[in-house]
Chains A and B, each alone.
Chain A
Amino acid sequence: QKEVEQNSGPLSVPEGAIASLNCTYSDRGSQSFFWYRQYSGKSPELIMFIYSNGDKEDGRFTAQLNKASQYVSLLIRDSQPSDSATYLCAVTASKLTFGTGTRLQVTL
């Protein structure tokens, strides 16, 4: 079992819709959870982080964490074509481990 798992996609959503990206992790001792956005040919950029169960909102982005079920998700409201990118989930236990990412395509 991979330490951090994501569906590779592509996930296609129409402009203005909500995009839902999911991530599961295997280490119950994980304490910090991050979402990075990576545009094609660019480096990853941190967009959200969450440490405790529940929701955390920042503008159009909401991170959700459920430690009992070992999943973390990212919701993007009012999706825009500029949101088209690969979204990487990262989890910290003994070290920071990345998932392989979900490619999001926002269509006009």
Chain B
Amino acid sequence: DAGVIQSPRHEVTEMGQEVTLRCKPISGHDYLFWYRQTMMRGLELLIYFNNNVPIDDSGMPEDRFSAKMPNASFSTLKIQPSEPRDSAVYFCASSLPDKKLFFGSGTQLSVL
């Protein structure tokens, strides 16, 4: 298995622009998680899905953030409009019900 695949690896954009991050989970995993990592706050859970249904989005910072999972093999995290404080590494992870997470390589987002 190729593992969790994220794209892009790096994203540099200007404040106000829309950013879309993409994730393909491991086949057969029914949980998908989006995390954000910064030096100050560590790994923060933004949202997670079970069987494509959002279960907990309480970590989504504000209405500028949205996430979708249209099918079992694809998810997106969108930020619109982006702000400099959104600069971070965004990780997607997937798991079986045992919650042993497998992480993707992450997307390094820089908002100028």
Inter-chain contacts of B60 with A (CB < 8 A): none
Inter-chain contacts of B101 with A (CB < 8 A): 34, 36, 44, 46, 90, 96
With an 8 A cutoff between CB atoms, is A28 at the interface? no
State whether A43 touches B43 (Cβ < 8 A): no
Nearest neighbor of A31 in chain B, beta-carbon distance: B99
State whether A99 touches B99 (Cβ < 8 A): no
State whether B100 touches A95 (Cβ < 8 A): no
Q: A88-B43, A95-B48, A96-B33 are in contact. Are A46 and B102 (CB under 8 A)?
A: yes
State whether A43 touches B104 (Cβ < 8 A): yes
With an 8 A cutoff between CB atoms, is B49 at the interface? no
Nearest neighbor of A86 in chain B, beta-carbon distance: B42
Nearest neighbor of A51 in chain B, beta-carbon distance: B98
State whether A98 touches B99 (Cβ < 8 A): no
Q: A95-B45, A95-B48 are in contact. Are A43 and B99 (CB under 8 A)?
A: no
Cβ contact of B91, chosen from A43, A92, A95, cutoff 8 A: A43
Q: A95-B45, A95-B48 are in contact. Are A44 and B103 (CB under 8 A)?
A: yes
B interface, size bucket: 10 to 19
User: Least Cβ distance of B69 to chain A in Å?
Assistant: 17
State whether A101 touches B42 (Cβ < 8 A): yes
CA distance A45 to B77 in the complex (A): 22
Cβ contact of A98, chosen from B43, B102, B106, cutoff 8 A: B43
Inter-chain contacts of B45 with A (CB < 8 A): 95-98
State whether A32 touches B99 (Cβ < 8 A): yes
- A residues adjacent to B (C-beta < 8 A): 32, 34, 36, 42-46, 49, 88, 90, 92, 94-101
